[in-house]
Amino acid sequence: MATRRPNEFEKAFQNLEKIVQRLEGEEMPLDESLQLFEEGIRLSRFCHQRLEEVEKKIELILADVKGQPVTEPFEDEELHEDEELVE
Amino acid sequence: MRAVTAAQTYSVSDLLRDVNLQLYRFNDVSVEGEVSNFVRSAAGHLYFTLKDARAQIKVVLFATNARFLRFRIENGLQLIVRGRLTIYEQKGEFQLNAVSAEPAGIGALQLAFEQLKKKLAEEGLFDPARKKPLPMLPQRIAVVTSPTGAAIRDILHVLGRRFEGLSLQIYPVRVQGPTAGREIAAALRHLSKWKLHDVVLICRGGGSLEDLWAFNEEVVARAVAACEIPTISGVGHETDFTICDFVADLRAPTPSAAAEIVIRAKSEICMQVDTMVRRVRNVVESRVRNIRHELRHLSSSDRLGIVVRRVAMARERLERRRISLYRLLDARAKTLRRRLDAANEPLARFPTRVARERQHLRATVATLQAVSPLSVLSRGYAIAFSRTRRGRKPIQDSSQVKVGEQIEVQLKRGRLEATVDRHTLGVESIWPEVGET
């Protein structure tokens, strides 16, 4: 079974899920629920931030003679036509 | 009886060479039969027997030709073999020297596909437990495909404007032709080593089985299986299944669908995060609302009335307890008082004794008074005293005084000083005759 180390985003997401479950499923003092609420909001901000943080780009990647990655710009006329059509 | 020798006697070599020449008209024949006794030599030459119900023939397929076979020859396979008939002179064996072979009744590629599929399945390469989960948020995407093919255009079209937060890197490979499989495998090995991406898409547009063949090659299947980054295979149309599809962690029906999976993952995550935030808010807000409501309810007259009643009840209870406490104390006080009284009884009796003694004293005093000279005096008697040197002395005998002697007479009130004029002797009645004194 191949397993993958859960990344920060997944941890934050899972913690947010747990908070929702606890808030909805447990009786707890108001203080505690407000603390969980704050933590939940913080996690959701983190998730949103991570969702947008990867820079939008399209490029070519291939191996050089030493097997190291090199990138090149990717140009595709039809893609631009498509984008114009969408617009 | 025939002669031992015929018209002509051959040497063995000459005979076989001659026969081989005669066999020239079987220089290019195809023969169909079932494979048995299959052997593959270390050099890659293939040896087997082809047979039907009544006859069999030895076949040899040398490595130079065997390497072009796309399927594996195995015993029991119904095969059409093309080649020329010869006699292997060193052994004198009749054989078919094959140049190619095709499975009977089924395409070679189809057979090759089935064979590889069976082999890899037996190795467990398609095992669901081997499948790596796709990352929750695939943002850095690698696409192994032709940069000029239909697949990449489909993918970019699907991503379209929903591109925020995604990076797409295309690893350019040929997706068709004899080198395609090796190129794809090399690309996968590099990407797996670099680990720069969250997910690898392996894509090609639609085509014939021949066109898609690279994705059915074992070298590709092995590279996909070994790739440490989760893989999505999107090859051909929905109805096309490739070995690559079976080995990949996820099979998308088309390249567009592969792109959909990636983009949907992101937008679904966005939605899920938003939903969870909403749920968290709902819970806390309703919690606060409930508490506020409860407070209001508590402070309303109705609820307050309960409090007042509760206080009144408590007070009443307190009162009852106080009363019973009083009773208890009272009873105790009474007991104590009784005990005190009991203790006091001798003392209480004491005053009656005093009274009795006082009465006795009064009686004694009365007796005293009765015998007091004063009381005699008060009845009219007088006491006569003679004066002596030792004071006054009551005169009880007339001889105690001489005539002319000064005496005192004590009356009830006052005193008389008198002189004795005469005295008579003898005992006489104390009662003087009336008028005599």
Scan for tokens 């508490």, then name that residue.
B291
Determine which of A13-17, B55-59, B217-221 has the lowest per-residue pLDDT on average. A13-17
Top mean-pLDDT range of A6-15, B7-16, B375-384 = B7-16
CB-based burial label for B11 (10 Å; 0-12, 13-18, 19+): exposed
Angstroms from A69 CA to nearest CA on chain B: 8
Report pLDDT digits (tens) over B235-246.
Answer: 999 888 999 999
Order of strands, sheet of B167-172, starting from the edge strand that comes earlier in the sequence: A69-73, A57-63, B167-172, B140-145, B199-204, B231-235, B250-252
Instruction: Report the phi/psi class of residue B391: left, alpha or beta, with left for phi > 0 and alpha for psi in -120 to 50.
Output: left
Q: Over the stretch B149-170, which tens digit does the pLDDT of each residue have?
A: 999 999 998 887 667 778 899 9
Distance to chain A for B299, nearest Cα, Å: 20
**What is the model's pLDDT at position B3?**
59
Poorest-pLDDT segment among A31-45, B41-55, B291-305, B394-408:
B291-305
Q: Is A71 among the domain residues?
A: no
Reply yes or no on whether the pLDDT at B268 is more than 70. yes
Chain centroid offset of residue B315 CA: 46
Task: Supply the pLDDT for residue B28.
Answer: 94
- pLDDT of B86 reads 92
For chain A, how many structural domains are there in total?
A: 1
Distance CA B164, CA B236 (A): 27
Average pLDDT, rounded, for chain B: 85
- Residues of the domain holding A33: 8-53
pLDDT-derived band at A3 (thresholds 50, 70, 90) equals very low
pLDDT tens digits, one per residue of B411-434: 888 888 888 887 776 555 555 555
Contacts of B200 (CB under 8 A, 6+ apart): B141, B142, B143, B144, B188, B191, B227, B229, B230, B231, B232
Stretch B23-42: mean pLDDT: 93
Does position B311 have pLDDT exceeding 60, yes or no? yes
pLDDT bucket at B301, cuts 50 / 70 / 90:
low
Closest CA–CA distance from residue B305 to any residue of chain A (Å): 27
Inter-residue contact A40 to B168 (CB < 8 Å): no
The predicted pLDDT at position A25 comes to 84
| Inside any domain, residue A74 | no
Q: Is B271 on the interface with A (CB under 8 A)?
A: no
Residue A22 lies in a domain: yes
Is A33 part of the contact surface with chain B (CB cutoff 8 Å)?
yes
Say how many CB pairs under 8 Å bridge A and B: 136
User: Using 50, 70 and 90 to split pLDDT, how confident is the model at B435?
Assistant: very low
Give B58-82 pLDDT, tens digit per residue: 999 999 999 888 889 989 999 999 9
Facing B171 at nearest CB: one of A52, A61, A76: A61
**Is A28 at the interface with chain B, CB within 8 A?**
no
Q: Residue B437: what pLDDT?
A: 43
Closest residue, chain B, to A57 (C-alpha)? B167
Contact B252, B258 (CB under 8 A): yes
Give a yes or no: residue A82 inside a domain.
no
How many CA atoms, within 13 angstroms, populate the side-chain half-sphere of residue B359?
A: 6
Q: pTM higher than 0.95 for the full model?
A: no
Predicted confidence (pLDDT) at residue B198 exceeds the cutoff of 80: yes
Q: Going edge to edge, which strands form the sheet with B406-410? A: B391-394, B383-388, B406-410, B415-419
A-facing residues of B in 287-316 (CB < 8 A) are: 287-288, 291
Chain A residues near residue B152 by CB distance under 8 angstroms? 76
User: How many angstroms away from the CA of A62 is the closest CA of chain B?
Assistant: 6
Q: How far apart are CA B277 and CA A12, in angstroms?
A: 13
Residue A43 covered by a domain: yes
Whether the predicted pLDDT of A87 surpasses 50: no
Contact B165/A at CB under 8 A:
yes
Q: Which residues pair with B101 in a beta bridge?
A: B81
Indicate whether B294 pLDDT > 50. Answer: yes
User: What does the DSSP 8-state code read for residue B124?
Assistant: T
Q: What percent of chain B has pLDDT over 90?
A: 43
Let me know if residue A75 belongs to a domain. Answer: no
Reported ipTM: 0.71
DSSP-H helix ranges across B166-300: 180-194, 218-226, 243-247, 255-299
- Nearest alpha carbon to residue B73 among B25, B123, B35: B35
A9 pLDDT exceeds 90?
no
Higher pLDDT, B398 or B50: B50
Domain for residue A70, yes or no? no
